[in-house]
Amino acid sequence: MSGKLATRLREGTKQSHSLAENADFIQCFLKGVVERTSYRQLLGNFHFVYSALEDQLTQHQNHPLLSQLYFPALYRQQSLATDLSYYWGPQWQTSITPSSATQHYIDRINEVAIADPILLVAHSYTRYLGDLSGGQLLKKLAQRGMNLSQGQGTAFYEFEDIQNPKTFKVTYRQSLDNLLLDESTITHIVDEANLAFKLNMELFKEVEGNLIQAIGQMIFSHLTRSRRNGQSQWSTDLGETTALQPQD
C-alpha cells in the first residue's frame, strides 16, 4: 500500500471512526442527551490526556519531523481548565483524578514519546482533527443538552487562535503529507491512530455508567439500540456529504 500520510490515516482509521461514532455515549450525545455528571467526568479525563499529549508535543517541538506538526494553537489544556472550573468549581484540580482508562491512555502517550516519538503524530491526529471536525456540532448539542448559557462550559470546542478550522485542517493534512516517512513508519502511525481511537472508546465506555445512572437503563437502551450495523453517521465514504456537517 502506498499514499501520503493524511490519506492513509483517513482511509486506515475509517472503521475505527465509525466504531467511535457509534459508541453508546457518543450516540446519546448526538441524540441530544448530554448529562452533566458524565460529561464533566469525561472532561476531567481529557484534561489528563491532553496534558500528557501537549507536554510531549512541546518537549519534541525541535524533533526533525514533529517540529513540522507543532501547532500550539490546537492545544486544549487551557480551554479544558476553563470548562473544568465551570463544572467542578475553582478547586477542580483537587476534585479530579485520572480514571483507569485515562491512565492507560496517558501511559501509552508517554511510552511512545520515549520509544518512538513519531507515533505522537497518531495521537495528535486522532484528537485534534476530530475536535476540529465535530466541534461546532458537539458544542450545540452540549449547550442544548445541559441547558448552558452562551459561552459557558463549552470552551473546549473553541479554538481561539484558529480562525477557520476547515482551512486549518487543510494545512494540518498538508503537514502530514510533507513528512518524509518510509512505508513501515506510515503503517506504524496508522496502527497507532487505530489504537488511539480504541483508547478514546475506553474513555467513553467508562463514563457510560454515570450516564445510565442519570437517565436510567431503559432510556439508555432505547437511545442506543436502533443502530447496530456499525455504519458511520457522517459517511461510509469520507468524501460524501451527509446530514451531519459538524463544522459548517
Residue with nearest beta carbon to ligand HEM: 130
Give least dist CB 234 to ligand HEM, A: 4
**Site residues (vs ligand HEM, CB under 6 A):** 9-10, 17, 20-21, 26, 30, 125-126, 129-130, 133-134, 169, 197, 200, 233-234, 244, 246
Judged by beta carbon, residue 62 or residue 229, the one nearer ligand HEM is: 229
Judged by beta carbon, residue 118 or residue 121, the one nearer ligand HEM is: 121
Judged by beta carbon, residue 140 or residue 169, the one nearer ligand HEM is: 169
Give least dist CB 129 to ligand HEM, A: 4
Give least dist CB 62 to ligand HEM, A: 25
Residue identified by cell 519531523 is: 65
Give least dist CB 90 to ligand HEM, A: 29
Judged by beta carbon, residue 95 or residue 225, the one nearer ligand HEM is: 225
Give least dist CB 156 to ligand HEM, A: 13
